[in-house]
Amino acid sequence: MTTSENKAALTVYSTTWCGYCRRLKTQLDEAGIEYKEIDIEKDPASAEFVGSVNGGNHIVPTVLFADGTTATNPSLAAVKSALSL
């Protein structure tokens, strides 16, 4: 369930064509975990951020947690663990 509020527990950086992104978003939706989604192909600053946390590579999905940590292509279990769920 995407949210436009800044209160989302995490931000998912994605693209429209990314199968791994679709899978993660579906799993987050099914688990009831709110997130903000940003398409890095429509937001150059977000693409730059994703590259900065992935050694210059624009790898999606990249997840940014509220505490400032990131995860690249995480499993749902890894997201839940990071959120202490």
pLDDT in tens, 44-85: 999 999 999 999 999 999 999 999 999 999 999 999 999 988
Is residue 9 within 8 Å of residue 65, measured between CB atoms? yes
Rounded Cα gap, residues 37 and 78, in angstroms: 18
Which CATH topology does 10-77 take?
Glutaredoxin (3.40.30)
Residue whose C-alpha is closest to residue 14's, from 58, 71, 60: 60
Q: Counting Cβ atoms within 10 Å, is residue 52 exposed (0-12), middle (13-18) or buried (19+)?
A: exposed
pLDDT in tens, 3-47: 444 467 899 999 999 999 999 999 999 999 999 999 999 999 999
